[in-house]
Amino acid sequence: MAVINLKNRQIECKIVYYGPGRSGKTTNLEYVHRAFKKQVAGRMISINTDGDRTLFFDFLPLGLGRIKGCDVKVQLYTVPGQVKYASTRQLVLKGVDGIVFVADSLTVRREKNMRSLKEMHENLKRMGLDIRKIPLVLQFNKRDLGKKGLPVMSVEKMTYDLNRQLKVPFFPASAISGQGVGGTLTQVLKMTLQYLQQEFKWA
pLDDT at 40: 80
Whether pLDDT at 201 is above 80: no
Mean pLDDT, residues 120-124 taken together? 97
* Least reliable range by pLDDT among 53-62, 64-73, 95-104: 53-62
pLDDT score for 41? 75
Pairing mode, strands 98-104 and 136-141: parallel
| Confidence check: pLDDT of 31 > 50 | yes
pLDDT of residue 87: 85
Say yes or no: domain 3-177 is CATH 3.40.50.300.
Answer: yes
pLDDT of residue 58: 58
Q: Which amino acid is at 50?
A: D
Of residues 54 and 76, more confidence is placed in 76
In the predicted model, is pLDDT for residue 11 greater than 50? yes
pLDDT > 80? residue 146: yes
Q: Does residue 201 or residue 86 have the better pLDDT?
A: 86
User: How is residue 54 annotated by DSSP?
Assistant: -
- The band of 96, judged by pLDDT with boundaries at 50, 70 and 90, is very high
pTM of this prediction? 0.92
pLDDT of 59 above 80: no
The stretch 152-170 carries a mean pLDDT of 98
Tell me the domain boundaries of the chain: 3-177
Q: What is the rounded average pLDDT for all residues in the chain?
A: 88
Which residues lie closer than 8 Å to 50 by C-beta, 6 or more apart?
A: none
Mean pLDDT value across residues 188-201: 85
Query: Is the Cβ–Cβ distance between 175 and 19 less than 8 Å?
Result: no
**Sign of the C-alpha dihedral computed for residues 33, 37, 40 and 43 taken in this order:** positive
